[in-house]
Structure 1
Amino acid sequence: MAFSKMVKPESSEVIHLEVLRTERLSPHWMRVTLGGGEIEKFRSMGFDQWFRLFLPIGGEAGLDRVPAKANSLLGYLRFLRIPSGERPVMRNYSVRAYRPASEGAGAEIDVDFVLHGSAEDGTAGPASRWAETCEPGEPVLILDEGITFNPQRGTARVVLVGDETALPAIASICASLPDDATGTALIEVPSEEDALTFPHPQGVDIVWLVRPHEFAPGTFALGRLSDLELPEAPFHAYAAGEQSLASGARKHLVGERGVDKNSVSFCGYWKISAGSAASKAARDASAEPRA
């Protein structure tokens, strides 16, 4: 996971939570709401706050063996020593929304999962399969990692760009911006149904980019970024999603548009492989004859 300078939480410890409910948002999105357990230990930082999520794919007993500092080198090595059949699946996710405790209800964290494949036919990855099939009461662990969106104090102009995996972070950033914030968010999604609307400052223009079949994830958004008229400085840019999109956006903004490198936050969530289905689809489409 490639990223720029992060703001770490005041304390980072394993927090025991459980599934409260799930909701299918679109063909490629599932929301899982977490709470209960040790939710009182979680401290919301807003913006693109992210955490490591440990899923009990090999059974609940594996969660009890996760080291307290599993995000440190020594802790991660200890995590890897958990037998493979028992070791929880660890993935990184953004806090889509946090709701503090209120009278009669505990605090809650919404986590939005991009669904790849299908749990029904066995093509889904472990995290997607879990999100589709988990039940209320199922335990999980989270380990807070802080935020990467790190503008100078008082900055209210933004440029946000990401693929579908960055949508939760961009939505959360917009929820944390001041009401008078201005700018543009370029969000690439695989289908119109996956363009999940969210609250944002009136001055921030949300541009949905439905990815054409012949484009690999992230490339369509990166192309639109190169055509975007940037706001007057000072502003802060944020790029996240597929690694080439995140690093490519930073390279374009800093190297070609002259943006101060300290005014660009970026985070590569994942890397497309040459043998992936998305990469193959893009290659096949590019080989098709054009009219």
Structure 2
Amino acid sequence: MTTAVAAPFRFFSLQVVRTRRLGPSLVRITFAGSDLADFASHGRDQSLSLFLPHPGQTEPAVPYELGDGWWQGWRELPDDVRAVMRSYTLRALRRDPDEIDIDFVLHGVEPSTDSEAETAAGAKAETHAGPEADTPAGPASRWASRAAAGDRVVLLGPAIADNRAIRFRPPADTDLVVLWADETALPAASAILESLPAGTRARVWLEVQHAGDVQELVTAADVDITWLVRDDIPHCLKGVGGAPTPMAVDAVRAAQLPRAENPYAWIAGESGCVKEMRRHLVRERAIDRRRVTFVGYWRRGLTEEQLRERGE
């Protein structure tokens, strides 16, 4: 059953088809369902809301039969009943059969040593929640680490392809694309790279926790990709006064970008790191702030529920 909400989005009732471990801290989960015939997206950094059941529940509790009133109805459910809601990025959409992939970062979960393990029955952490190694696994990480074929979820996703939940929108005159993403935004960055047409120049930095999380990416564009591996070093080190000093900013600051008249930048990941990266690109690189898209996928020390309560 699907229920329209505020267009252009709607609910989709889905089931897990298979899971695949991509690396020590990354797992790809494939979902299917008859509702996906109405799912529409041009990909790129398409944002989704995923609703997961609590342990012991066979399906997530989401009152989507209330239509536009679903949000208030969901908020009023008891904490131990109300479905866990997390924001994710669409990794891929396929037809015949209709399937979507969502990549999850597993934080606080025992890492896998087999990056190619795959099973049809089930063996972005919460993709927009922090992947801190010293943080206990959140409900979405725990769910993803145990997901098996047949597990039921509910998705709030696009009913039209060109929707406001896609943020990557380079102006037509862009002659250089600059990307930075940590592992929470890696699915979005990967989909963006796949969407770039031949002849597009791009300079890309992708940050992951483990060397085993590095992936082979496909693109027709002229792309220079640098992988930054933290190897269990805290994601965003704190400098004097507690200011964030992300390793990515140091790497980008030291790099020589190709000459460009109209560059466009897309940066996404931990909010503090995103803020520091944007400051560098605008102030030090003199990129027009209107041509820098920046998205904080998570914030150190805060859960998605806490961010939602603060209106962030």
Q: Find the counterpart in structure 2 of residue 247 from structure 1.
A: 275
Q: Find the counterpart in structure 1 of residue 305 from structure 2.
A: none
**In the alignment, structure 1 residue 92 sits paired with structure 2 residue 87:** yes
Note the alpha carbon deviations across 1:217-245, whole angstroms, 9 max, x for none.
38111221222223312121010000012
Note the alpha carbon deviations across 1:216-275, whole angstroms, 9 max, x for none.
33811122122222331212101000001222222221222211112111110111129x
Q: Find the counterpart in structure 2 of residue 268 from structure 1.
A: 296
Q: Percent identity?
A: 37
Question: Does the CA-based 8 Å contact 1:190-1:211 persist in structure 2?
Answer: yes
Question: Does the CA-based 8 Å contact 2:26-2:103 persist in structure 1?
Answer: yes
What is the rounded CA distance, in whole Å, between the counterparts of 1:75 and 1:236 in structure 2? 37
Q: Find the counterpart in structure 2 of residue 3 from structure 1.
A: none
Alignment TM-score, normalising by the size of structure 1: 0.81
Count residues with an aligned counterpart: 258
What is the rounded CA distance, in whole Å, between the counterparts of 1:37 and 1:49 in structure 2? 20
- 5 Å-filtered alignment, 1:159-198, equals 159-198=178-217
Question: Does the CA-based 8 Å contact 1:119-1:129 persist in structure 2?
Answer: no
Question: Does the CA-based 8 Å contact 1:29-1:114 persist in structure 2?
Answer: yes
CA distance 1:67–1:182, shift in 2 (3 Å): farther
**In the alignment, structure 1 residue 107 sits paired with structure 2 residue 98:** yes
Q: Find the counterpart in structure 2 of residue 116 from structure 1.
A: 107
Note the alpha carbon deviations across 1:125-172, whole angstroms, 9 max, x for none.
211111111221211111126211111135352110011111111100
1:92 alignment partner, SS class? strand
1:38 alignment partner, SS class? helix
Q: Which runs of 5+ in 2 are unaligned?
A: 1-5, 112-134, 158-163, 237-244, 303-312
CA RMSD of aligned residues (A): 2.5
CA distance 1:80–1:238, shift in 2 (3 Å): same
What is the rounded CA distance, in whole Å, between the counterparts of 2:175 and 2:155 in structure 1? 31
Alignment TM-score, normalising by the size of structure 2: 0.76
Q: Which amino acid aligns with 1:141?
A: V
What is the rounded CA distance, in whole Å, between the counterparts of 2:71 and 2:175 in structure 1? 38
> How much has 1:212 moved relative to structure 2?
5.2
Question: Does the CA-based 8 Å contact 2:28-2:104 persist in structure 1?
Answer: yes
Q: Which runs of 5+ in 1 are unaligned?
A: 1-8, 275-291
Q: Find the counterpart in structure 2 of residue 51 from structure 1.
A: 48
> How much has 1:14 moved relative to structure 2?
1.3
What is the rounded CA distance, in whole Å, between the counterparts of 2:254 and 2:234 in structure 1? 17
